[in-house]
């Protein structure tokens, strides 16, 4: 290895090699081609096939139009949607499972990232918070509690911003590399 590093230090580039290449130099409008893409990674040691993902998840994400799926290697896939609603569902309505027990983590497509730069470590889930005082069953409290668990995204409430019932449903984006919280002490504290 040291021998290779020594050779690389002595490497001299020709004038043509030094010229380089400017990415994004031309005004190329990628438009919808970029807007309707997402990247996913199946967390499995077994290989997963793009055709199977496109068929099974495509029916859920976009039942009226197909979803295209391209294998990017290492159980990573690029999904192309025909409608924004399909992409939105794939990114925000998960978590998604394939092959009965393999989690697929979806992330927004970024034109400026290489495949190695994508981080597949968060998923959206719905949580329930039980035994809250009725006055706390609202969007603001839900988002605060959601931010304690992960990143609070949404709270299931009525048009008035309040919820009534046995529990408050909160959508949270959590890190899959960390253990799930088992609970939060919601007993009132007064200053």
pLDDT tens sequence across 56-83 = 999 999 888 889 999 999 999 999 999 9
Bigger pLDDT: 28 vs 10: 10
Give the model confidence (pLDDT) of 99-150 as tens digits: 888 999 999 999 999 999 999 999 999 999 988 888 899 999 999 999 999 9
User: Can you list the pairs that 28-31 forms with residues at least 24 positions away whose Cβ atoms lie under 8 Å?
Assistant: 30/111
3-state secondary structure of 17: helix
Residue 22's pLDDT band, with cuts at 50, 70 and 90, is low
Helix or strand holding residue 141 (H, E): helix 139-149
Among 16-30, 34-48, 125-139, the range scoring the smallest mean pLDDT is 16-30
Instruction: Count other C-beta atoms under 10 Å from residue 35's C-beta.
Output: 11
Q: How far is the C-alpha of 117 from the C-alpha of 29, rounded, in Å?
A: 23
pTM attached to this predicted model: 0.75
Q: Which of 119, 117, 116, 137 is nearest to 128 (CA)?
A: 137
Q: How far is the C-alpha of 67 from the C-alpha of 82, rounded, in Å?
A: 7
Question: What's the whole-number mean pLDDT along residues 8-30?
Answer: 64
Q: Which of 125, 89, 109 is nearest to 41 (CA)?
A: 109
**Confidence (pLDDT) at 191:** 40
Please report the sign of the dihedral spanned by the C-alpha atoms of residue 15, residue 18, residue 21, residue 22. Answer: negative
């Amino acid at each position: 290895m040291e021998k290779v590093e020594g050779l690389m230090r002595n490497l001299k580039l020709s004038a043509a090699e030094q010229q380089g290449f400017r990415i994004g130099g031309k005004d190329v409008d990628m438009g919808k081609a970029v807007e309707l893409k997402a990247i996913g990674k199946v967390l499995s040691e077994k290989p997963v096939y793009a055709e199977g993902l496109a068929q099974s998840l495509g029916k859920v994400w976009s039942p009226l139009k197909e979803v295209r799926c391209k294998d990017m290697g290492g159980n990573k896939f690029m999904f192309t949607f025909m409608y924004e609603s399909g992409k939105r569902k794939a990114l925000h309505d998960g978590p998604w499972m394939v092959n009965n027990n393999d989690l697929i983590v979806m992330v927004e497509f970024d034109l400026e990232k290489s495949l190695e730069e994508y981080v597949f470590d968060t998923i959206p889930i719905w949580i329930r918070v039980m035994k809250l005082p009725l006055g706390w069953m609202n969007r603001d409290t839900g988002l605060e509690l959601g931010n304690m668990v992960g990143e609070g995204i949404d709270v299931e409430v009525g048009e008035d911003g309040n919820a009534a019932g046995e529990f408050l449903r909160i959508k949270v984006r959590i890190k899959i590399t960390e253990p799930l919280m088992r609970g939060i002490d919601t007993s009132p504290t007064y200053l």
